[in-house]
Amino acid sequence: MGIKIIANNKKARFDFTVVETFEAGLSLRGSEVKSLRAGSCNLKDSYVSFKGNEAFLQKAHISEYTASSYNNHEPERLRKLLMHKQELVKIFSSIREKGYSCVPLKIYFKAGRVKLEIALVKGKKHQDKRQDLKAKDAKRDIARELKRNR
How far apart, in Å, are the Cα atoms of 129 and each of 14, 41, 123? 7, 26, 10
Does residue 147 sit within a domain? no
Does some domain include residue 100?
yes
**Structural domain of 12:** 3-124
Q: Is residue 136 part of a domain?
A: no
Instruction: Let me know if residue 39 belongs to a domain.
Output: yes
Q: Which helix (H) or strand (E) holds 121?
A: strand 113-123
Is residue 57 situated within a structural domain? yes
**Residue 17's CATH number:** 2.40.280.10
Tell me the C-alpha distance between 3 and 93, whole Å: 30
HSE-up of residue 106 (Cα within 13 Å, Cβ side): 13
Q: What is the pLDDT along the chain (150 residues), one digit of tens a residue?
A: 578 889 898 888 888 888 999 999 999 888 888 888 888 888 988 999 999 889 999 998 888 887 777 777 777 889 999 999 999 999 998 898 887 899 999 999 998 899 999 999 988 777 778 888 888 899 999 999 988 888
Report yes or no on 93 lying in a domain: yes
Q: Is 26 a member of any domain?
A: yes
Cβ-proximal residues to 44 (8 Å cutoff; 6+ apart), any chain: 9, 11, 61
Number of folded domains in the chain? 1
Residue 135: inside a domain: no
Q: Using CB atoms within 10 Å of the CB of residue 29, give its burial: 0 to 12 exposed, 13 to 18 middle, 19+ buried.
A: middle
Q: What's the pTM?
A: 0.79
Q: Which residues contact 65 (CB under 8 A, 6 or more apart)?
A: 31, 32, 34, 35, 38, 72, 73
